[in-house]
Chain A
């Protein structure tokens, strides 16, 4: 059964700084997803990583996937207050011929002005 671990769980950072959120998973996952959740809101998709070595970038966020290390990273460049949110990664191994999405515990990011 896939287990997904994120660290750190909480992250407080100054505007303008860089930081990385790590997502480790326990068994083979065919793909890896990153989602963002604002307080009291639903989840929205940020990145879909479909293969080893995949790298996706959107604005100040960049996600990568290393399937051999069972590791995905979400890198934040020059953080701004608007990036304050909770970020989740999710693995999706094929189980009985279909994908089964398992989420990490989330990383709550707070960007201080």
Chain B
């Protein structure tokens, strides 16, 4: 029972490099999202998606790109990494329909360091 799977778990980048954090879920959830977690800042929403082909910005979208070509996958792209993007990134998904509990299911997290 995989749930939400994130890869890689750890990554070190140099400033200016690009990379993609992968997120996949096998629960047929329409809603998927990316958060970053920084000390003292809680979790901040980067981007989210309510279904294939539909994405929207969260609280801190700058420097990140997303796309949703399938229900299962929601990759997060860093186009030109900056030290300020050093963080732990979490992918989360849920059933998002009205009348449902809508609780989020989280992946294990990806720790990114930008030098």
Interface set of A (CB-CB < 8 Å, partner B): 1, 6, 9, 31, 33, 35, 41-45, 48, 50, 88, 90, 92, 96, 98-106
From B35, B43, B104, B108, contact of A45 by CB (8 A): B104
* Shortest CB distance A36–B (Å): 11
Residues of A with C-beta under 8 A to B102: 31, 48, 92, 99
Q: Can you offer 8 A-B residue contacts whose CB atoms are under 8 A? A: A1-B59, A43-B92, A45-B103, A48-B102, A90-B104, A99-B94, A101-B92, A103-B35
Best-buried of A1, A6, A43 by chain B (most CB within 10 Å): A43
Q: Complex formed: what's the CA distance from A88 to B42 in Å?
A: 8
What per-residue 1/0 map shows which CB atoms of B41-69 lie under 8 Å from chain A?
11111001010000010110000000000
Best-buried of A1, A9, A41, A102 by chain B (most CB within 10 Å): A102
Q: Complex formed: what's the CA distance from A9 to B39 in Å?
A: 11
Q: Complex formed: what's the CA distance from A94 to B31 in Å?
A: 13
Contact A103–B96 (Cβ < 8 Å): no
Closest to A89 in B: B42
From B41, B50, B104, contact of A101 by CB (8 A): B104
- Taking residues whose C-beta sits less than 8 angstroms from the other chain, chain B's interface range is 20 to 34
What per-residue 1/0 map shows which CB atoms of B62-96 lie under 8 Å from chain A?
00000000000000000000000000001010101
Closest to A4 in B: B42
What per-residue 1/0 map shows which CB atoms of B12-36 lie under 8 Å from chain A?
0000000000000000000101010
Knowing A42-B109, A88-B43, A100-B45, say if A48 contacts B103 (CB, 8 Å).
Answer: yes
5 further A-B pairs in the complex, CB-CB below 8 A; given A43-B43, A45-B105, A48-B101? A42-B90, A96-B56, A98-B96, A99-B102, A103-B35
Residues of A with C-beta under 8 A to B96: 98-99
Contact A101–B42 (Cβ < 8 Å): no
Residues of B with C-beta under 8 A to A43: 43, 90, 92, 104, 106
Residues of A with C-beta under 8 A to B103: 33, 45, 48
* Shortest CB distance B101–A (Å): 5
Q: Complex formed: what's the CA distance from A98 to B56 in Å?
A: 11
